[in-house]
Structure 1
């Protein structure tokens, strides 16, 4: 008698476990905390088993399908991870955690976003007068020397263990990392990738369409109000020298408690949820997004990707990010107070075939490909 049964060999599917370190993380009570980390994880989870350790969290919770744990709960949990990803590593929490737990991970990827590897007083513009403190500035310098020395030591130790990889959000960021971190330049070159932050899906799935029936003003700016690097003073100068246009500024802060609001400017002190920004932008003709310093400038990249006419600063990082976008106009920061006619900018709203530079296929999907290669190497 013949055995007609068929033996089927099922290929074992390898589950890749990744732990992501983040100083803070979105929750129902704070949807904006390091949201650029969360947007990555939502795509990561299609390929990996992703857990997040948020140092500011006191309890475990789930947010949009991503499991978030506290440090206390991590220490009590079973630990079976292939890879650690550390976003914007800081001395207070990340370094301490990695020094204690690096043996749990085959590889560690550091995603370098900016401030964490810069001496801030050397890079950031001086605070507005109402917010200046010589003592704080001095303490920042002392802390930054310690920060850079400590991070250099951590990275070099991990290089010796052949464990470390870097993702930089721009060429500018990599260049200034190497200026400030005392480490092996050749090893950084051989163990790093430049991968931009992705635009949120809300800016990709739809395109800018000016809603003339619900028109609110000519120009819109969405900026924190108290940090000089975001150039609220430049926006005010621009508005004052272009009195024939109207301006709306969305943001929170104290700047206008100390400075007059021009007659053609309205300030809306609120923070707009990312998913709601595209619909809001449709009610304006042009975005005004100056900056004095950035490692990428995610929101202006999203606005450009959305197809809205946009004015930004003519500095190297903005050129690196946005030079290919025909709907973006660059102005030197020194020229924001000059009277200009911007009718031509306002007509840049119907441009087709915009670059997909900040779409997932050129950003987070590249990260996923690199992560798989790192794990399998």
Structure 2
């Protein structure tokens, strides 16, 4: 975050004039950091190698923001503990149980899109058959969730969870609702996928490197209707839900599992 162009986090100041003023005031120091990273990327004497968490971050952030090309690099994703977040076959009824675990400290997590999607679904005849479990914490929590507090099938929990508690919740739910405006990977989404939840998110930034049509749903940028439509589709297609659940776990464990990532990291250290 410290070496991205200041305007990448537009969503954090577009709602508030004071935030915009602070962002504008930070431009000189932001440019200093960008220049520093550019000098490192271009340095040929120090024999540096850069490890990026995703292809998107390398190309669309690091290289784009510094207007340079990084030649000596590897892509190694954040590891997902597939031993903790184990796949357990989902019952078809679990397609009706939607889980959201997100921070509420920034608009980048797009929790407002989740709220809008739930409001869209509330117009459906089958809405009361769905269950939404929302966990999180942060200064935006109460304001964002206020429009859906009155629904009896929406449970709201204003606190963070241990990894063990998260893994237990994964076993109880079938869908992971995790819209986003900016993600270099989406670790909580990947953990849910490892457990077999079907991710419903936005196809922005690095997310398409981890979610595809075979394992989840990628709505467009700012598209809350697409999020709602994906939940509706799974409601009417339980067999598709179970297939995507298995694909979701297999894809992310192969891509980000402990053995795979450790092998790549050890290879970097010894070579």
The whole-number CA distance in structure 2 between the counterparts of 1:120 and 1:344 is 43
Aligned to 1:61: none
Q: CA deviation at 1:132?
A: 5.1
- Is 1:134 the counterpart of 2:134? The answer is no
The whole-number CA distance in structure 1 between the counterparts of 2:143 and 2:168 is 31
Measured against aligned partners, the alpha-carbon deviations of 1:68-108 in whole angstroms (never above 9, x if no partner) come to: xxxxxxxxxxxxxxxxxxxxxxxxxxxxxxxxxxxxxxxxx
Measured against aligned partners, the alpha-carbon deviations of 1:28-79 in whole angstroms (never above 9, x if no partner) come to: xxxxxxxxxxxxxxxxxxxxxxxxxxxxxxxxxxxxxxxxxxxxxxxxxxxx
The whole-number CA distance in structure 1 between the counterparts of 2:165 and 2:79 is 17
| TM-score, structure 1 normalization | 0.59
Equivalent residue for 1:160, pick from 41, 44, 50:
44
Aligned to 2:79: 198
Q: 1:371 to 1:172 in 2, by over 3 A?
A: same
Q: CA deviation at 1:123?
A: 4.4
Aligned to 2:270: 372
SS of the residue corresponding to residue 103 of structure 2 reads coil
Aligned to 1:248: 133
The whole-number CA distance in structure 2 between the counterparts of 1:333 and 1:252 is 24
The question of whether the paired residues in 1 share the 8 Å contact of 2:99 and 2:133 is answered with: yes
Aligned to 1:63: none
The whole-number CA distance in structure 2 between the counterparts of 1:130 and 1:258 is 14
Q: CA deviation at 1:352?
A: 4.1
Superposed, 1:305-324 pairs within 5 Å as 305-323=194-212
The whole-number CA distance in structure 1 between the counterparts of 2:81 and 2:119 is 33
Q: CA deviation at 1:257?
A: 3.4
Equivalent residue for 2:217, pick from 329, 338, 342:
329
The whole-number CA distance in structure 1 between the counterparts of 2:157 and 2:185 is 25
Q: 1:131 to 1:364 in 2, by over 3 A?
A: farther
The question of whether the paired residues in 2 share the 8 Å contact of 1:203 and 1:305 is answered with: no
The whole-number CA distance in structure 2 between the counterparts of 1:266 and 1:301 is 23
Q: CA deviation at 1:169?
A: 0.8
The question of whether the paired residues in 1 share the 8 Å contact of 2:173 and 2:197 is answered with: no
Aligned to 2:242: 349
Q: 1:258 to 1:128 in 2, by over 3 A?
A: farther
Q: CA deviation at 1:297?
A: 1.0
Equivalent residue for 1:286, pick from 175, 180, 187:
175
Runs of at least 4 residues off by over 6 Å: none
Q: CA deviation at 1:211?
A: 7.8
- Which structure 1 residue ranges, 5 or more long, are not aligned? 1-114
Q: 1:229 to 1:235 in 2, by over 3 A?
A: same
Measured against aligned partners, the alpha-carbon deviations of 1:255-306 in whole angstroms (never above 9, x if no partner) come to: 2433423133332111111233121112223110111111111111221122
| TM-score, structure 2 normalization | 0.80
Q: CA deviation at 1:226?
A: 2.9
The whole-number CA distance in structure 2 between the counterparts of 1:219 and 1:346 is 14
The whole-number CA distance in structure 2 between the counterparts of 1:131 and 1:280 is 39
Aligned to 1:219: 98
The whole-number CA distance in structure 1 between the counterparts of 2:29 and 2:236 is 47
Q: 1:272 to 1:202 in 2, by over 3 A?
A: farther
The whole-number CA distance in structure 2 between the counterparts of 1:321 and 1:124 is 24
The question of whether the paired residues in 2 share the 8 Å contact of 1:208 and 1:307 is answered with: yes
Q: CA deviation at 1:170?
A: 0.8
Aligned to 2:188: 299
The whole-number CA distance in structure 1 between the counterparts of 2:184 and 2:238 is 27
Higher relative contact order (CA 8 A, sep 6+): 2
Q: CA deviation at 1:116?
A: 3.2
Equivalent residue for 1:274, pick from 163, 167, 171:
163
Q: 1:344 to 1:132 in 2, by over 3 A?
A: farther
Aligned to 1:94: none
Higher relative strand content: 1
